[in-house]
Chains A and B, each alone.
Chain A
Amino acid sequence: MKKHLLSAADLTRDDAELVLRTAEEMRSLADRPIKKLPALRGRTVVNLFFEDSTRTRISFEAAAKRLSADVINFSAKGSSLSKGESLKDTALTLEAMGCDAVVIRHGASGAPHRLANSGWVRASVVNAGDGTHEHPTQALLDAFTLCRHLGKSHLGPGNGGDLDGRRIAIVGDVLHSRVARSNALLLHTLGAEVTLVAPPTLLPVGIDSWPVETSYDLDGVLPKADAVMMLRVQRERMDGGFFPTAREYSRRYGLDGRRMATLQDHTIVMHPGPMVRGMEITADVADSDRSVIVEQVSNGVAVRMAVLYLLLGGSEPAVGTTETALVEPVEPVETPLAEEAHA
C-alpha cells in the first residue's frame, strides 16, 4: 500500500483485498473478551476534523484505541481551527508534537492531498472525507459489508472474486457525494458492476468517463441489483434547484416498501448515514431485514483498524494466534513501509 490513503484510486485490487482480509481479522477481535491489540502501541494518531462528524470520528477513534495507539482528537469547534488558524499551521503544530498518522475530515476537496504532499507533515494521511471528493474508508467498509453478504469465498472478505460481477446500485446525490466517488472507484476495482442512479441534475459532468453505468430510472435498476446503496440527500440541495420538491424526489428516487418488494431475495440495502428518513429511504426499509446499515457502522471500526494498521504497522499478521500475543509487550513492527513513512 501507499503511504497515504487519499483516494480509493490509490488502492490496487491487491491492496484493497489485503485491507479487507485484515479487517476480517480485526473484526474477529470483537468476539474476544479483550478487544484490544498492542500493534500500534507508542504510535500517535490524530483525528483532525474540520467538519462536524460524529460517526466517522468515533469510528476512527475506536479503531486507533483498539490498536493501542494514542489518539488525539482535534476538531474545529472550540479549537484554534475556529479561530482562523490555517490548515498549514495546524499541520505544522501536529508535526511538531510528533504524530504518526493524521486522519483528516475537511470541507475542501483535496485538503488531504495538500496535507500529504505539501511537506507540512511527515505522517501518513488518511482521508476521512474531503468536500465533495472522496471518502475512501467508507468505500472500504461498504465493500467489506458487501463481501460479507454477497461473498462467494468461505474464507471471508478479500479472498478473491467476492464481488466479481455483482451489481451494486448507488442511488441519490452523486454530484455532491464523496461516498459515491470512492465507492464507484473501489467497487469497480473489486470487479463489481456499479450503476449510479440519480436525477440528471445530481450526476457530475463527465460521468461518462467513470467506470460505471448510469441511470435515471430507479425502478428499472432495482430488480437486477445485488445491493442498493442509498445516499443522503441534503435538504439544502433543494434550494439549489437540483429537483423541484422533496416529495417529488422521494417519489422518483426514494426507496420505500413498494420498491423494496421488487428486489431479489438476497439483495441488501445500505446507507452510509446519516439517513434522512422519509426523504431517500423510508423507515420500514431502513429497519427491515435487508438493511445492513447498523452493521456498516460496526464494520467501519474493523476496516479503519485495518487501514491504520497497514499504513503504520506493517505486513505481519496483526492478530496473534494465541491469546498471549495480546498481553505480551510487542515491539513496534518496523517494515520497509514504516521506514519509508519516516524517510
Chain B
Amino acid sequence: MPSNALTATDLCCRRGDRWLFSGLSLNLARGQALHILGPNGLGKSSLMRMLAGLLPPSPDPVSGITGAIAWDGPLALMDERHGLDLGQPLGAALAFWARVDGPVPDEAITGLGLANLLDVPVRYLSTGQKKRAALARLIGQNAPNWLLDEPLNGLDVAACAMVERMVARHCASGGACIIASHQPLGIPALTRLDLAGYAL
C-alpha cells in the first residue's frame, strides 16, 4: 500500500463571521492529482491556504473538533502571489530562490518560455509571464507535494497545456498535486472534489 502524501481530517473554515465549509476530509496518495472545484467565494483559496499551513483550521461548528493536516514531505505553493522581487530582473529574482531552494533546471526555464525574459524586471512582466515565473520558482523548490491555486489564470492556451503536462509529469514521478481551478483540466487520472458539497 502506498503511503499517503496528505491526510487531512475534519477541516472547517470560518473567515470572520462567515462559515465557508465544514467536515472536509482528504486523502491524497503519492502520484495522485486532485482538482478542487466550486463556485467563487466558497473557500477554495482558503482551503488551499489551510492545506499549506498558512491558515489554521477552524473548530467544527457542531462538534467543536479542530481538524488536522499531515503532509508527508515538503510542500510547494503557488497562488496569486508570485513571491518574486518586483524590482529585480527575473533572473536575479529566481537566483535568490535558487540560493534558498536549489537551482531551477534550465529545461524548465526554456520550457516555460522564460529564457529571453531573464533580464526584464519582474514588475514589467505580464500577468501570464509572472505566473510562468512563479511556476519556475515552484519547480526549483523540488518539493514532492504541490498546491496550485488557479494556476491557469492569465495563461494562454499553449501555456495551459504545458502546465497540464508539468503536473502530469510531476505525478507520474511520484509527486502529489492539488489544484484549485475553475477551468477544466486535461490531466490523466485526475480526481475531482466539489467543495460545494461541504458548503455551509
Tell whether A pairs with B.
no
